[in-house]
Amino acid sequence: MKLKTQLITIIGIVVVLLMILNLVVYYQITLLRDDNQIMSRLALFRGLAQRVVTLELAGQYAESLITEADKTLRVLVQGDDVSRKAVQEKTVRAALQELQTAWIHLQEAIQAFRQDPAQREQLLQQGEEVFTLASTAVSEAETLSTGKVKLLKALQVSSLALNLLFVAGIWLIDRRISRALREATHAISATTAELSATVEQHEQTAAQQATAVNETTTTMDELEASFHQVKDETESVADRAQQALNLTEEETEIVKQTLTSMSSLKEKVGAIAEQILRLSEQIGQIGDITDLVSDLANQTNLLALNAAVEAARAGEHGKGFAVVAAEIRKLADQSKRSAERINALVADIQQATNSTVMVTEEGTKTVDQGTTLVQRTAEAFENLAGSIHSVFESSQQTLLNVKQQVAAVKQVVEAMRTINGGARETANGISQTKLGIQQLKDTIGNLQRIV
């Protein structure tokens, strides 16, 4: 088999294998994207469920959040155009079905709590079960995603191995070509030496001219091959620069999306802080009310004491009134103790609220710092994209120059071959060189068969 055929065969096999690997990698990346969609929706559902339970416990109906959570869970269970294949995984689908059942029970617990606040503990238990099952589903999806990432790494290693195999094959073929060319050069040199020993001064001059032209032609051929190699390497650099530019643009877009998400998070944290401040104000109002109840209890106790004194003065006629006054004093004491307990609870809640406000403020500062950092990262990516674009333009200009140089070298090679043909025609009249010319033709034929 000729070397040309061998080279084409090897390149064809490697290209086909690389195309197959790329298709498999693209398919795995699509599956990873589906897994990310599932995990994102599960996280969204888990957050919605927590907010629903929190609002319901606070006495606020959360119908809009329940509707949104229902829609999110329905998409997860039934699938859609993006995540239908990923949802078919048995482990994830089983976890989602359990989560759907728990969500139905949670909605029933919410309805029961609305009718009977004593069902608070049942609502908390159902909410905890939904949160636990949602976390389990996320873990299952993460496990599947981890397996796909490992497969992608294995495919990358296989692609690297194919590239190394391709380079090794090219290197072996290049060695065989170089060895054949060296042998042909030695044969031509030997033939030229035989010719120079059998001719006169004129024939010697012609032989020397032919030898010089041959050497020059060989040098120009090597120079042409070198320029072709430079051209191929320059094209490779240009392609890599284009790939780096595309990748940098994609990363810049991702950073911009992250910046948008950080801004949204900042707004949500601010909204939470405002809600907590409103809650603190309402708790303060509750404290004022309990203080008023405590004052009323003290006044009632004083009035009951005065009533008891008046009943004692009334003697036998005031006994019934004294009993009523005693009961009123008991009720007043109970009201005062209840008001004191409420005041203690309000103080604890006020302290916890103040701590939450402080934590929320720290979170806002952290979000601001993260936003600044993401903005700097976006600027860095934009600067990097500009630099890579400059490198790409320089590579294109270099490639154009190299192509022009290759064309010029080809013209020189053709001219040298024309001169070489003239030298051979001069030597055709020498009878003593017929055998050497025949040997030279045989050597050229061998080179043509090898190439």
Residues 209-255: tens digit of each pLDDT: 567 657 766 766 776 776 677 668 767 866 876 787 787 778 778 86
pLDDT in tens, 5-24: 766 777 778 778 877 877 87
- 382: in domain: yes
Shared-domain flag, residues 222 and 301: yes
- pLDDT category at 449 given cuts 50, 70, 90 is low
Could you give the C-alpha distances from 361 to 50, 268, 282, 368, in angstroms and in order? 22, 12, 20, 11
Q: Verify that 133 and 272 share a domain, yes or no.
A: no
Whether the predicted pLDDT of 86 surpasses 50:
no
* pLDDT average, residue stretch 275-279: 79
In a domain, 191, yes or no: no
Quote the pLDDT of residue 81. 53
pLDDT in tens, 140-155: 878 877 877 788 778 7
Are 290 and 409 in the same domain?
A: yes
User: pLDDT class for 415, splitting at 50, 70, 90?
Assistant: low
Tokens of 156: 């990358």
As given in the structure block, the two tokens for residue 78 are 């039934």
Greatest mean pLDDT among 55-64, 187-196, 391-400: 55-64
**Domain for residue 277, yes or no?**
yes
The whole-number pLDDT of residue 254 equals 81
If asked whether residues 393 and 289 sit together in one domain, one would say yes
Return the DSSP state at 119: G
215 and 358 co-located in one domain: yes
Q: What's the rounded mean pLDDT across residues 201-205?
A: 62
Per-residue burial over 114-146, b if 16 or more Cβ lie within 10 Å, else e, is eeeeebeebbeebbebbbebbebbbebbeebbe
What pLDDT digit, counting tens, does each position of 383-396 carry?
A: 877 777 776 677 67
Higher pLDDT, 309 or 384: 309
Domain of residue 147: give its range: 1-164
Domain boundary among the residues 109, 139, 164 is at 164
- For the cut 50, the answer to whether the pLDDT of residue 62 exceeds it is yes
Q: Are 5 and 451 in contact (CB under 8 A)?
A: no
Whether residue 220 sits in one domain with residue 134: no
Instruction: Examine residue 100 and state whether it is found in any structural domain, yes or no.
Output: yes
Buried b (16+ CB within 10 A) or exposed e, 379-394: eebeeebeebbebbee
User: Per-residue confidence at 132, pLDDT binned at 50, 70, 90?
Assistant: very high
Residue 394, domain CATH: 1.10.287.950
pLDDT band at 50 (very low <50, low <70, confident <90, very high): confident
Residue 83's pLDDT is 45
Does one domain contain both 228 and 286?
yes
**33 assigned to some structural domain:** yes
pLDDT reading at 275 higher than 70: yes
Asked whether residue 175 is assigned to any structural domain, the reply reads no
| pLDDT of 258 over the 70 cut | yes
Separation of alpha carbons 347 and 355, rounded Å: 12
Look at residue 6 and tell me if it is in a domain.
yes
Q: Which two tokens stand for residue 88?
A: 């078919």
Are 153 and 229 part of one and the same domain? no
Instruction: Tell me how many domains the chain contains.
Output: 2
Mean pLDDT, range 403-429, rounded to an integer: 66
Same domain, 280 and 426: yes
b/e per residue 336-359 (b: at least 16 CB within 10 A):
beebeebbeebeeebeebeebbee
In the predicted model, is pLDDT for residue 367 greater than 80?
A: no
In-domain check, residue 380? yes
Instruction: Give the domain CATH number at 154.
Output: 1.20.1420
